[in-house]
Amino acid sequence: MSALPPGYRTVAVPADRLAEFRTTDQLAFASVPDPETEASLPFPIPQERMMAVEAPDGTFAAVHGSYEFAMPVPGGTVPCAGLTWVAVRPDQRRRGLLRAMIATHLERSLGRGEPVSALFAAEAAIYGRFGYGSAADDVRLTLPRGAALRPVPGSDALTVHLERVDPDRHADLVEDLGRRAGAGRPGWMPRAAAPLRVRAVADPPAWRHGFEPLLLATVRDGREVRGLALLARKEAWGEAGPDYTVQVRLAAALDAAATHRLWTFLLDLDLTTRVETPVLPVDDPLLHLLVDPRPARRRLADNLWVRLLDVPAALTARRYAAPLDVVLDVTDDLLPQNAGRWRVVADHAGSVDVARTTADADVRLDVRELGALYLGGRSAAALGDAGLVTGEAAALGTLTTAFLSPRAPVCPWNF
């Protein structure tokens, strides 16, 4: 794999070097050290998944970590290493430390039996060279107060309850309902680990930036919670009076009526002028419910990047929307065991077989593009139009239909 410069070495991070791990990350991201906030929150990365590169003087030059995820994929879940906290000290850049850390990450993930890795990219140009493909987009809207929604039967019968967030009482509720709301959506990463659940509802003053303490809105059918949102408002007064902003950090609902009731509430809070949505999938029901979507400001961004580490294990972990019998010729510069021709056969009953073959290839593509297709949010035909995947139009069409997911993939929280 990738060599480190002379005198550098890859090391595990023992508990007594957690502060140095954090400081290295803060130096790379220019984050303001905040010991009070840090002490109030559980550290998110399991210690055995934290790694560093030590410089010749024994200090950390670079760090990375990973989360253990069961990533939803079309028709199932796959063990996934969520790469995170990738940081190279500014005085140690561009000498191959990231490249070496990626090699370590791929090798260790495979050793743990994780055939897939996923990440959020700080900068979009970094990870393609390592075989990660942009597999999902997300959208954030800024909506005017009072934006009208098309009617949904049953919405009026639901009630809304608003309270301040209490992390002890609400962490599991938020995770459980969020998980159910995202059922069937590839990439909708559950936060199985307790530190991640706690941090999802955490509200330290340093994170508020002028907004009020975090609120929880629950949509109820009697006593049963059918939807919820985490939100906060920012007070502002202008010449024309109140000009508040509502920031919705998370919104989840179990059905159309709860979705409608939740957004009807969020879009009509007194004193407010605008409502900022959280990250939404590009096919979120809110987009379909808006009577007039044009005044909404939209920001489209890349969401998950996906890397297949073990091509046959990854491809057999998901199901396909149509029968498939195709020979893929895959290139993979970092993991040669993935390279070459694979026959992928899937039938209507859900059986999938991926095996080495010497047959002629129908489709040629890099592992990066296979990662982009994996969650079902990209079209092989469209990647073909861009020259990134090659093959006969019929083969690309079959691949497109079989890989697509009925719901657009997204991860609703950034790791």
Ligand X SMILES: CC(=O)SCCNC(=O)CCNC(=O)[C@H](O)C(C)(C)COP(=O)(O)OP(=O)(O)OC[C@H]1O[C@@H](n2cnc3c(N)ncnc32)[C@H](O)[C@@H]1OP(=O)(O)O
Q: Determine which residue in the list 1, 40, 48, 93 makes contact with ligand X, applying CB under 6 A.
A: 93
Tracing tokens 């303490």 back to the chain, one arrives at 213
Using alpha carbons, list the distances in angstroms from residue 231 to 4, 138, 267, 269. Answer: 45, 19, 12, 11
Q: 85 or 265, CB closer to ligand X?
A: 85
In the range 146-185, which residues lie near ligand X by CB under 6 A? Answer: none
Integer Cα distance of 148 and 146 in angstroms: 6
For the record, the structure tokens of 351 come out as 């059986």
Binding track over 257-276 against ligand X, x by CB under 6 A: --------------------
Residue 112 assigned as binding residue = no
CB of 252 to ligand X, least distance (A): 25
Does position 94 interact with ligand X (CB under 6 A)? The reply is: yes
Integer Cα distance of 371 and 368 in angstroms: 5
127 is catalytic: yes
Q: Determine which residue in the list 80, 88, 363, 395 makes contact with ligand X, applying CB under 6 A.
A: 88
For the record, the structure tokens of 374 come out as 């994996």
What kind and span of H or E run contains 154? none
Query: What are 244's strand-pairing partners?
Result: 272
Does position 96 interact with ligand X (CB under 6 A)? The reply is: yes
Tracing tokens 């509430």 back to the chain, one arrives at 265
CB of 103 to ligand X, least distance (A): 10
Residue 198 assigned as binding residue = no
CB of 400 to ligand X, least distance (A): 28
Contact predicate 194/228, CB 8 Å: no
Integer Cα distance of 120 and 307 in angstroms: 12
Handedness of CA 155, 407, 82, 134 (dihedral sign): negative
Residue 96 assigned as binding residue = yes
**What residues contact residue 172 under an 8 Å CB cut-off, 6+ apart?**
197
Residue 119 assigned as binding residue = no
Q: Determine which residue in the list 11, 122, 301, 355 makes contact with ligand X, applying CB under 6 A.
A: 122
Contact predicate 76/319, CB 8 Å: yes
Integer Cα distance of 229 and 249 in angstroms: 7
Number of residues that bind ligand X (CB under 6 A): 22
Q: Determine which residue in the list 86, 103, 253, 275 makes contact with ligand X, applying CB under 6 A.
A: 86
Does position 194 interact with ligand X (CB under 6 A)? The reply is: no
Overall size of the chain counted in residues: 415
Does position 230 interact with ligand X (CB under 6 A)? The reply is: no
Residue 97 assigned as binding residue = yes
Q: Determine which residue in the list 18, 110, 126, 321 makes contact with ligand X, applying CB under 6 A.
A: 126
Q: 267 or 334, CB closer to ligand X?
A: 334
Q: 19 or 122, CB closer to ligand X?
A: 122
Among 127, 211, 374, 403, the one annotated catalytic: 127
Q: 130 or 188, CB closer to ligand X?
A: 130
Residue type present at position 147: A
Does position 3 interact with ligand X (CB under 6 A)? The reply is: no
Contact predicate 318/75, CB 8 Å: yes
Q: 93 or 288, CB closer to ligand X?
A: 93
244 is catalytic: no
Looking at residue 285, the DSSP 8-state letter turns out to be H
Integer Cα distance of 404 and 319 in angstroms: 10
Q: Determine which residue in the list 121, 321, 339, 345 makes contact with ligand X, applying CB under 6 A.
A: 121
Residue type present at position 321: A
Binding track over 4-43 against ligand X, x by CB under 6 A: ------------------------xx--------------
Integer Cα distance of 21 and 89 in angstroms: 11
Q: 95 or 341, CB closer to ligand X?
A: 95
Integer Cα distance of 171 and 194 in angstroms: 9
Binding track over 45-84 against ligand X, x by CB under 6 A: --------------------------------------xx
In the range 101-120, which residues lie near ligand X by CB under 6 A? Answer: 119
Q: What are phi and psi of 134, to 5 degrees?
A: -70, 110
**Contacting residues toward ligand X, per CB under 6 A:** 28-29, 83-88, 93-99, 119, 121-123, 125-126, 129
What amino acid positions are annotated as catalytic residues? 127, 415
Q: Give binding residues for acetyl-CoA as ranges.
A: 86-88, 94-99
